[in-house]
Amino acid sequence: MSEQRREAFIKRDTNETKIQIAISLDGGPVNITNSILPATNQFEDHAAQYTGGQQINVQTGIGFLDHMLHALAKHSGWSILIECIGDLHIDDHHTSEDVGIALGLAFNKALGPIKGVKRFGHGFAPLDEALSRAVVDLSNRPYAVIDLGLKREKIGDLSTEMIPHILESFAQSASITIHVDCLRGFNDHHRAESAFKALAIAIREATFKTGKDDVPSTKGVLS
């Protein structure tokens, strides 16, 4: 019998955003039965990839956010479909924050009880002159410390002040602890992207299946 995949579907609707996420932490096929995107948007491929056993398609309406979440999914080993329709006529805040929240909820649901995984993970990722470090604890203790040192007001259509907030929102709703630091670099695009890639590497290690069925804690519980 094949091992059950860690997967989830989340639908989150507010007056500000409508979001659907299908995720598998172990790759493989994922599906959203009823897309909320306009028909003309359903086949955009700027943040899509269907290779190596992964299916990734991210459409938030914010190109740079799509790019970062594509990198996060790719290097975490996830398959993921993200659809978001947000109030971008106001600004990028609600869409960015709510996608981070919904992604954390989907991750938490897919992960399930924290048993038989490494729990801790760390990762370093360079991108040219930039280098970032991330450390993850699947702790059920939501906390985020993010220091990326971004200087530009925006990267594409994403406000740089929202980038740490997206990661904070993800950690909070995922109920995990993350520390993400950009150690060096002068190009803000490189600094941000290396940070998301480092986080992906750390998450992939933390969620790695050990083949055991124990709770990775001296307390015997993670709650």
The answer to the question of residue 150 being in a domain is yes
What is the arithmetic mean of pLDDT over 41-63? 86
- Return the pLDDT at 1: 42
What is the arithmetic mean of pLDDT over 8-16? 98
Interior CA angle at 62 toward 125 and 44, to 5°? 95
Q: 12 CB contacts (<8 Å, ≥6 apart)? A: 18, 19, 20, 98, 101, 102, 105
- Return the pLDDT at 178: 98
The predicted-structure confidence for 121-173, as pLDDT tens digits, reads as follows: 999 999 999 999 999 999 999 999 999 999 999 999 999 999 999 999 999 99
The predicted-structure confidence for 86-108, as pLDDT tens digits, reads as follows: 999 999 999 999 999 999 999 99
Is pLDDT of 2 > 70?
no
Is pLDDT of 186 > 80?
yes
Is pLDDT of 212 > 60?
yes
The answer to the question of residue 146 being in a domain is yes
The answer to the question of residue 18 being in a domain is yes
The answer to the question of residue 93 being in a domain is yes
Q: How far is CA 11 from CA 17, 103, 173, in A?
A: 11, 10, 14
215 burial via Cβ count (<10 Å: 0-12, 13-18, 19+):
middle
Q: What is the mean pLDDT of the chain?
A: 94
Q: Which two tokens stand for residue 146?
A: 């993010």
214 burial via Cβ count (<10 Å: 0-12, 13-18, 19+):
exposed
Region class of 34: left (phi > 0), else alpha (psi between -120 and 50), else beta: beta
The answer to the question of residue 214 being in a domain is no
What is the rounded CA–CA span in Å between residue 160 and residue 145? 16
The answer to the question of residue 212 being in a domain is no
**Domain boundaries, position 143:** 7-207
The answer to the question of residue 221 being in a domain is no
The answer to the question of residue 1 being in a domain is no
Task: Indicate which CATH number applies to the domain containing 199.
Answer: 3.30.230.40
- Return the pLDDT at 46: 81
- Return the pLDDT at 86: 98
Total domain count, the chain: 1
Do 158 and 96 meet the contact criterion of CB atoms below 8 Å apart?
A: yes
